[in-house]
A and B are shown apart, each in its own frame.
Chain A
Amino acid sequence: MSGILWHLANVAGILGVLLTLAGGLIMVERRLLALWQDRYGPNRVGPFGLLQVAADMIKIFTKEDWTPPFADKPVFIIAPCIIMATVLMSFAVIPFGPTVGVADLDIGLLFFLGMSSLGVYSVALAGWASNNKYALLGGLRATAQMLSYEVFMALSLMGVVMLAGSFNLRTIVNAQQHLWFCVPQFLGLVVFTVAGIAETHRVPFDLPEAESELVAGFHSEYSGMKFGMFFVGEYLGITLISALIVTLFFGGWYGPFLPPLLWFALKTAVLICGFVLLRASMPRLRYDQLMSFGWKIMLPTALLNLLITGAVVVARHAS
């Protein structure tokens, strides 16, 4: 009984913390961007502007929620739900600490990859269902982008799997007790990070919603909370990718002195700030450049990484 209770508390705690974090992250991004652009950022609402997100949430909840008459209604409504659902589901397999985490799946990594593939539907369907040319172009870009980046995203992780000998994320973290995988799997880390940014369609891969080109891209017709879900989904996605990078390459919760959960949070926070800095400093790629970058550079790199890792693992087993 207490096991179930602990489990429920675990789930509820993680969900609560995640949603709060996603909100907080919006704030963090706005303040960090401001810092790098020589300004203050939101600082008027509540102490240090901390309640800015609360105000935004209240506003967005009470904003007119509208479905365009020309849209494909059911799909239009389902699309933003998909992104929230898939991202939150993915968090189920993340081991936040030695005892904290929702599910201890043996195929954890595959589950994440599956969920992120499903996530593509959100953007593609939103673009399609809006029945708007800009949204359609955004949706098309997203589909092409994610299809090609999925491929090497999965491939880049196989090196980690080979070294740890498991798809279970908890086992992968435990395998890094002595040496973080960011050292032997440096290429894998680079490729996965790039794929992760593309997955969350952030600058320089924000083509599906490129403001100066496609107005607001796939979410041009969305308003109110439906748009809010895309908005929050994007930040949850960043948290997810950062948490995964920490889990797979930076030893998860391991670290000296501090409690494991704090180590995990700290590492994730640093990565998130990296994501924000990237947004502050990069221009956007062009559609065809993005594709050729993916297929001509990233895919061969991932394959090369796989080949070398495989060779090393085989050699180690043989000796």
Chain B
Amino acid sequence: MLDKPKTATADIVKRCEELFTDLNFNAAREWKAEKPGRIVVGFMPYYAPRELVHAAGGLPLGVFGGGDQLEVIHGDAYYQSYICRIPRSTIELGVSGRLDFVDGMMFPSICDVIRNLSGMWKLMFPEKGARYIDLPHNFEDDLGGEFYVSELKETCRWLEAMTGRPITDDALRASIAVFNENRRLIREMYELRADQPWNAPSSELYLLLRAGMVIPVEQHNELLRGYLDAVREQSRPMKDNSRVVVCGAFCEQPPLNLIKSIELSGCYIVDDDFILVTRWENSDVALEGDPLKNLAVAYLHDSKSTPPKYEPDESKKGLYLVDSVRKNRAEGVIFAFASFCDPGLLERPILQDVLKKHNIPQIAFKYAENSGQMQPIREQAGTFADSIKLWSGA
């Protein structure tokens, strides 16, 4: 169990950091061991219907790669050098036994690498279930929506086979409610950071989000409340930083040092696409009526735009980024994509073009989850922050 959060942000952040660096997922292991019959279901970044796992009485566990601490010994033997890093560290986590307590894994349809990884999982860990979550790119209720409901139903059946218990509509509604609360708190945290980025630094916000990937949502909600209260009670010195939106880190995770480096270089991150699953839906998912349908409706009509998702309307393409810049009073955009990341790097020229048309300054670089050398990034971001100030002064 977590300690009751104290008022100091440092204590909460420390707890989150411990969870973040624990690549054996001990918190989740302990949770599972507490009660017989509990299941833990892993999911990869981007989006997963965590409510379903929760409603099955399970813990959805975010498996977000190995970061810069995991030594990849086996994983490299499964991937050519020109494939991004997250699948190989995920394989490493599996092969090294760090996920041996996990009952199943969910793979969202984000790109061909994750798609193929779902099949590799089936071959390599046949005793653990692998569920590919095929997300709709058609946004009509009776087309993509209907299909997505069928995918969700299939996922429920998959989970039910694991627990031997049916997932009821009431359980689903209760789970949606608790995740609605989680998303509300996270939205609040984002608003607070956009208002006072010096008081709620992005490196802390990121750790808070990551903590939510490995502990029960109820505990995470407590943690978030504690953090929000603590931030409101404190005041840290405000710097003359430039305000930026970071875009591109929706799958392979940036090293924590990268986020810190951006901040140290003179930028306040006021919006980002870190751990999107925590605020995929822009507002509460409805509780009345058919819960799976409600999740599908939220997915289709009230969720974030992001590179891996199809945008049917060309006139809206990339505008989410412009909106984010406006809404959060940002002065520029930093594109940070994982090396070899198809969805991100194919999308980048489009987004750059949209920003150019709206006169929004931008820079771009690539990273890997284990990038160690931050100096070039710090310099690039620093020059960017300076030039923003120059432009705005001009």
Bound pair: A and B? no
